[in-house]
Copies of this chain bind each other. A is one copy, B any other.
Amino acid sequence: MIDQLNGASRLFPIIGDPVKHVQSPPWLTRTFAERGHNGICIPMEVPEGDLGVVMGGLTATPNVDGILVTMPHKFTAFEHCASSSERARMLGVVSVIRRNADGTWHGDMLDGLAFVKAQLDRGARIAGARALLVGAGGAGSAIAIALLEAGIGELIIHDADEARVAGLLELLAGFGNGRVTAGSPDPAGCDLVFNATPMGMDVGDPVPVDTTRLTPAMFVGDVISGHGTTAFVAAAQAHGCKTATGDHMVEAVQNLMADFMLGE
């Protein structure tokens, strides 16, 4: 399956905690191979407080060409980037990092683009639609921007942490043109219902929205990957909804990440 691992391999660690469920190690490694590049994506379990010391080690290792960033490091990793894309700066969040010519790091945020691509690939209509987005953290913020860029008609944002919602609304104020409001986890009246919280990572997690209010015309999308069909997606399917899982998002992001890492 992977035949390019050797002493000349370039490294692309994915840092997160937990990291066992991530799918990029085989997927991105295979995508590199398909492009004729000897790059290996490896899982690195990095506890929340240890990002600085791990980044120090990776920065000092010249055959580390790029880093994939997952929870809980997406906010803090931004601070390790000497340069970044505008969308990454807007959010203060990165999902991918690659080397600048001087060995410093350049960050970007591809999660929102990949999430929207996964929904479109699975049959969702975004333009003009009304969406409930639960989760105003790093992933939720990136998805909100990508949905607005894709022409969403109305975006309702909910998060148990109301200050997070207020902060995201403020961030989007000049961008959303009145299309964005705070709301409840009740999906009634929405065309699209999205989970961008960690709920679904652990067995027994509550579902992020009131699933009793789902209807068959709704399209449901989830960011949770590597956990099969989450309780949220299963409930949506039981209600007859079309769905996209976090695995679909991970699939969509592989080519975007390979493009970024190889500077293409």
A binding-site residues for B, Cβ under 8 Å: 1-3, 5-9, 11, 14, 19-23, 25-26, 29, 40, 42-47, 50, 53-58, 60-64, 226
Contacts and interface: CB of A to CB of B under 8 A. Distances in A.
Q: How many copies does the complex hold?
A: 2
Nearest to A11: B42
Of A14, A43, A54, A55, which is in contact with the most chain B CB atoms at under 10 Å from its CB? A43
Contacts of A43: 6-9, 11, 63
Given A1-B3, A43-B7, A61 B54 contact: yes
21 contacts: A1-B2, A1-B3, A2-B5, A5-B42, A6-B23, A7-B20, A7-B22, A7-B25, A7-B226, A9-B25, A11-B42, A11-B43, A42-B42, A45-B61, A45-B62, A45-B63, A46-B60, A46-B61, A53-B53, A56-B57, A57-B58
Contact of A8 (B1, B14, B20, B55): B20
Contact of A57 (B1, B14, B55): B55
A240 to B, nearest CB: 32
B60 A53 contact: yes
Nearest to A55: B57
A166 to B, nearest CB: 34
Contacts of A11: 42-44
Contacts of A42: 5, 9, 11, 40, 42
A46 B250 CA distance: 31
A58 B20 CA distance: 17
A64 B5 CA distance: 17
